Structure 1
Amino acid sequence: MYIGVDCGTQSTKVVVVDLDNARILGEASRPHQLVEGGNGRREQDPEDWMDAFFGAFAEALANAGIESRTIRAIGISGQQHGLVALDADGKPVHPAKLWCDTETAVENAALVDRLGGEAGCLDKLGLVLQTGYTASKLAWLRATHPEAYRRIDSILLPHDYLNFRLTGEKVAEAGDASGTGYFDTRTRQWRQDVFATIAPELDPGKVLPRLIESHEPAGKITSAMAQQLGLSEDVLVSSGGGDNMMGAIGTGNIQPGLVTVSLGTSGTVYAFSSEPVLSDNATVANFCASSDGWLPLACTMNVTSATTLVRNLFGLELDAFSGKVADAPAGAEGITILPFFNGERVPNLPHATASFLGLTSLNATQANLCRAVVESATFGLRYGLELLGDLARDASQIRLIGGGARSPVWRQIVADVLGVEVICPHINEAAALGAAIQAAWCDEHARGGRTTLASICERLVSLDQDTRTQPDPEIHDTYQEVYRRYRTALEKRHGVTH
Structure 2
Amino acid sequence: MYLGIDCGTQGTKVVILDLEQGQICGEGYAPHELISAANGRREQRVEWWTDAFQQAYREALDRSGIDSRAIRAIGVSGQQHGMVLLDAQGDVIRPAKLWCDTESATQNAELLEQLGGVSGSIERLGLVVATGYTLSKLLWLKQHEPEQFARIATILLPHDYLNYWFTGEIVAECGDASGTGYFDIRTRQWVPEVLALIDAEGRLERALPPLITAEQAVGQVRPEIARLLGLSEGVIVSSGGGDNMMGAIGTGNIQDGIVTLSLGTSGALYASSGRAPEQMHPLVAPFCSSSNGWLPLICTMNLTGVVNQVRQLFDYDLERFNRAASQAGIGAGGVTMLPFLNGERVPALPAATGSFLGLGMQNLTPANLCRAAMEGTTFGLRYGLELLQAAGISSREIRLIGGGAKSALWRQMVADVMDTDVVCPVVGEGAALGAAIQAAWCEQSARNGSIALADLCDRVVALDHSTAVAPEASAVADYREAYLAYRKNLSQLYPNAG
TM interval, short-chain normalised? over 0.9
List per-residue Cα deviations over 1:437-456 (Å, max 9, x = no partner).
Answer: 00000001111343210000
Q: Which secondary structure state, in structure 2, belongs to the residue aligned with residue 200 of structure 1?
A: coil
Give 1:293 shift.
1.2
* Cα pair 1:424 1:468 within 8 Å, conserved: yes
List per-residue Cα deviations over 1:72-99 (Å, max 9, x = no partner).
Answer: 0000000000000111232222211111
**Equivalent position amino acid for 2:76 in 1:** I
List per-residue Cα deviations over 1:253-284 (Å, max 9, x = no partner).
Answer: 11122111110100011111111113452111
Give 1:497 shift.
5.9
Segment drifting more, 126-135 vs 91-100:
91-100
Q: Which secondary structure state, in structure 2, belongs to the residue aligned with residue 447 of structure 1?
A: helix
| Counterpart in the other structure of 1:474 | 474
**Equivalent position amino acid for 2:395 in 1:** A
| Counterpart in the other structure of 1:104 | 104
* Cα pair 1:386 1:393 within 8 Å, conserved: no
Q: In structure 1, how many angstroms separate the alpha carbons of the residues matched to 2:334 and 2:184?
A: 45
Q: Which secondary structure state, in structure 1, belongs to the residue aligned with residue 276 of structure 2?
A: coil
**Equivalent position amino acid for 2:456 in 1:** I
| Counterpart in the other structure of 2:379 | 379
**Equivalent position amino acid for 1:25 in 2:** C
* Cα pair 2:417 2:476 within 8 Å, conserved: yes
Q: In structure 2, how many angstroms separate the alpha carbons of the residues matched to 1:392 and 1:386?
A: 10
**Equivalent position amino acid for 1:145 in 2:** E
Aligned residues: 498
What are the residue-to-residue correspondences of 1:272-421 with 2, within 5 Å? Answer: 272-390=272-390, 394-421=394-421
* Cα pair 1:127 1:278 within 8 Å, conserved: no
Q: In structure 1, how many angstroms separate the alpha carbons of the residues matched to 2:394 and 2:3?
A: 35
| Counterpart in the other structure of 2:422 | 422
TM-score normalised according to structure 2 size: 0.98
Segment drifting more, 320-329 vs 483-492:
320-329
Q: In structure 2, how many angstroms separate the alpha carbons of the residues matched to 1:392 and 1:437?
A: 28
Q: In structure 2, how many angstroms separate the alpha carbons of the residues matched to 1:36 and 1:28?
A: 26
Q: In structure 1, how many angstroms separate the alpha carbons of the residues matched to 2:256 and 2:280?
A: 20
| Counterpart in the other structure of 2:209 | 209
The answer for unaligned runs of 5 or more in structure 2 is none
> Residues 439, 391 of structure 1: CA spacing in aligned structure 2 closer, same or farther, 3 A cutoff?
farther
Q: Which secondary structure state, in structure 2, belongs to the residue aligned with residue 198 of structure 1?
A: coil
What are the residue-to-residue correspondences of 1:167-246 with 2, within 5 Å? Answer: 167-246=167-246
* Cα pair 2:344 2:350 within 8 Å, conserved: yes
Q: Which secondary structure state, in structure 1, belongs to the residue aligned with residue 94 of structure 2?
A: coil
Q: In structure 2, how many angstroms separate the alpha carbons of the residues matched to 1:233 and 1:245?
A: 28
| Counterpart in the other structure of 1:41 | 41
Q: In structure 2, how many angstroms separate the alpha carbons of the residues matched to 1:40 and 1:357?
A: 24
| Counterpart in the other structure of 2:266 | 266
| Counterpart in the other structure of 1:32 | 32
Q: In structure 2, how many angstroms separate the alpha carbons of the residues matched to 1:328 and 1:244?
A: 33
Give 1:394 shift.
4.0
* Cα pair 1:271 1:392 within 8 Å, conserved: no
**Equivalent position amino acid for 1:219 in 2:** G
* Cα pair 2:5 2:435 within 8 Å, conserved: yes
Give 1:115 shift.
1.2
What are the residue-to-residue correspondences of 1:57-72 with 2, within 5 Å? Answer: 57-72=57-72
**Equivalent position amino acid for 1:175 in 2:** G
Q: Which secondary structure state, in structure 1, belongs to the residue aligned with residue 62 of structure 2?
A: helix
Q: In structure 2, how many angstroms separate the alpha carbons of the residues matched to 1:402 and 1:392?
A: 26
Q: Which secondary structure state, in structure 1, belongs to the residue aligned with residue 262 of structure 2?
A: strand
Q: In structure 2, how many angstroms separate the alpha carbons of the residues matched to 1:350 and 1:67?
A: 48
| Counterpart in the other structure of 2:95 | 95
Q: In structure 1, how many angstroms separate the alpha carbons of the residues matched to 2:40 and 2:497?
A: 25
Check if 1:154 corresponds to 2:159: no
Check if 1:435 corresponds to 2:446: no
* Cα pair 1:6 1:435 within 8 Å, conserved: yes
Q: In structure 1, how many angstroms separate the alpha carbons of the residues matched to 2:486 and 2:495?
A: 13
| Counterpart in the other structure of 1:76 | 76
Q: In structure 1, how many angstroms separate the alpha carbons of the residues matched to 2:75 and 2:394?
A: 33
Give 1:212 shift.
0.4
> Residues 497, 90 of structure 1: CA spacing in aligned structure 2 closer, same or farther, 3 A cutoff?
closer
Q: Which secondary structure state, in structure 2, belongs to the residue aligned with residue 310 of structure 1?
A: helix
* Cα pair 2:69 2:232 within 8 Å, conserved: yes
Q: In structure 2, how many angstroms separate the alpha carbons of the residues matched to 1:263 and 1:10?
A: 14
* Cα pair 1:79 1:158 within 8 Å, conserved: yes
Give 1:37 shift.
0.9
**Equivalent position amino acid for 2:376 in 1:** S
**Equivalent position amino acid for 2:44 in 1:** Q
* Cα pair 1:379 1:417 within 8 Å, conserved: yes
Give 1:386 shift.
0.6
TM-score normalised according to structure 1 size: 0.98
Q: In structure 1, how many angstroms separate the alpha carbons of the residues matched to 2:121 and 2:205?
A: 21
* Cα pair 1:4 1:433 within 8 Å, conserved: yes
Segment drifting more, 444-453 vs 78-87:
444-453
| Counterpart in the other structure of 1:140 | 140
Q: In structure 2, how many angstroms separate the alpha carbons of the residues matched to 1:282 and 1:442?
A: 33
* Cα pair 1:279 1:388 within 8 Å, conserved: no
| Counterpart in the other structure of 1:12 | 12
**Equivalent position amino acid for 1:327 in 2:** Q
> Residues 313, 439 of structure 1: CA spacing in aligned structure 2 closer, same or farther, 3 A cutoff?
same
* Cα pair 1:77 1:242 within 8 Å, conserved: yes
* Cα pair 2:422 2:468 within 8 Å, conserved: yes
**Equivalent position amino acid for 2:166 in 1:** L
Give 1:204 shift.
4.2
Moved over 3 A (4+): 390-394
**Equivalent position amino acid for 1:11 in 2:** G
Q: In structure 2, how many angstroms separate the alpha carbons of the residues matched to 1:234 and 1:205?
A: 32
Check if 1:447 corresponds to 2:447: yes
**Equivalent position amino acid for 2:384 in 1:** G
Q: Which secondary structure state, in structure 2, belongs to the residue aligned with residue 375 of structure 1?
A: helix
Q: In structure 1, how many angstroms separate the alpha carbons of the residues matched to 2:196 and 2:389?
A: 34
* Cα pair 2:280 2:286 within 8 Å, conserved: no
**Equivalent position amino acid for 2:414 in 1:** V
**Equivalent position amino acid for 2:316 in 1:** L
**Equivalent position amino acid for 1:389 in 2:** Q
* Cα pair 2:280 2:391 within 8 Å, conserved: no
* Cα pair 1:271 1:391 within 8 Å, conserved: no
Segment drifting more, 226-235 vs 358-367:
358-367
* Cα pair 1:115 1:121 within 8 Å, conserved: yes
**Equivalent position amino acid for 1:177 in 2:** A
* Cα pair 1:490 1:496 within 8 Å, conserved: no
Q: In structure 2, how many angstroms separate the alpha carbons of the residues matched to 1:361 and 1:392?
A: 44
Q: Which secondary structure state, in structure 1, belongs to the residue aligned with residue 448 of structure 2?
A: coil
The answer for unaligned runs of 5 or more in structure 1 is none
Q: In structure 2, how many angstroms separate the alpha carbons of the residues matched to 1:336 and 1:384?
A: 18
